[in-house]
Amino acid sequence: MAGSMQQAHSKVARKLLLLTVCMFGFGFAMVPIYDVFCDLTGLNGKTGRVSEAQSARMGVDENRLITVEFVSTINGGAGPWEFAPAQAKMQVTPGELYTTHYRARNLSAAERVGRAVPSVAPAVASRYFQKTQCFCFEKQDFAAHEAREMPLTFVIDPRIPPGVDTVTLSYTFFNAEPA
């Protein structure tokens, strides 16, 4: 009697411990789930990336002209950097490839590493803002006082919803060295 009761207790405890471990894993699984969800929906201003061959197959919509604005922010804690777009805005035709660049300069006398994180507004446009070449998310090594141009090649997918005539690409520049 007492033995079978012990067995019943350990059975319940084992199942519930398994559930506990699964839910601990689920907490971490929410990280990739969140990313996939944002990619699929274009939420959070996440932009896409395509190859040049893919962009060539998009076709060109000659009837639309979209204004692309470029802005930059230097993160509050990032320290002395200069980071700005070469051009404030461009008129682009959906489906055609364009290249522009951002300029970055390390204003300090030490070697430093920076990293730029992009975001697109309005959110509905972010899925249609495709880049073939970008410096985003990559660690950028800078020597003391080094200045550099960082190129960006992009195409606006012609399927971009009607009504969107201005798209803003924003880069935030962070210090990428471990704190």
Partner 1 sequence: MSAAADAHHDDHHGSGYGWKRWLYTTNHKDIGTLYLWFAFVMFIIGGIMALIIRAELWTPGMQITDPQFFNSMTTMHALVMIFGVVMPGFVGLANWMVPMMVGGPDMAMPRMNNWSFWILPFGFGILLSTLFMEGGAPAAGWTIYPPLSLQGGDHVPFMIFAIHILGVSSVMGAINIIATILNLRAPGMTLMKMPLFVWTWLITAYLLIAVMPVLAGAVTMLLTDRFFDTSFFSAAGGGDPVMFQHIFWFFGHPEVYILILPAFGIVSSIIPTFARKHLFGYSSMVYATASIAFLSFIVWAHHMFTVGMPLAGELFFMFSTMLIAVPTGVKVFNWVATLWKGSMTFETPMLFALGFIIMFTIGGFSGLMLAITPVDFQYHDTYFVVAHFHYVLVPGAIYSIIAAVYFWIPKWTGHMYDETLGKWHFWLSTIFVNVLFFPMHFVGLAGMPRRIPDYALQFVDFNQIATIGAFGFGFSQLIFLYLVVKCIKGGEKATDRVWEGAHGLEWTLSSPPPYHSFSTPPEVKAEHHI
Which residue ranges make up the site for partner 1 (CB under 8 A)? 2, 5-6, 8-9, 12-13, 16-17, 19-21, 23-28, 30-31, 34, 41, 43-44, 75, 115, 117, 123, 137, 172, 174-176, 178
C-beta of 71 vs 176, nearer to partner 1: 176
C-beta of 84 vs 117, nearer to partner 1: 117
Smallest gap from residue 93 Cβ to partner 1 (A): 28
Smallest gap from residue 162 Cβ to partner 1 (A): 18
C-beta of 2 vs 109, nearer to partner 1: 2
Closest CA to 42 of 103, 128, 107: 128
> Residue type at 156?
I
C-beta of 6 vs 133, nearer to partner 1: 6
DSSP tag of 46: P
Dist CA 107 CA 56 (whole Å): 39
| Contact (Cβ atoms closer than 8 angstroms) between residue 177 and residue 87 | no
Smallest gap from residue 9 Cβ to partner 1 (A): 5
Return the structure tokens found at 65.
Answer: 């002209």
Smallest gap from residue 167 Cβ to partner 1 (A): 17
Return the structure tokens found at 107.
Answer: 């204003």
C-beta of 34 vs 107, nearer to partner 1: 34
Smallest gap from residue 143 Cβ to partner 1 (A): 20
Sequence-separated contacts (24+) of 70-73 with Cβ below 8 Å: 70/100, 70/102, 70/168, 70/169, 70/171, 71/168, 71/169, 71/170, 71/171, 72/102, 72/170, 72/171, 72/172, 72/173, 73/170, 73/171, 73/172, 73/173
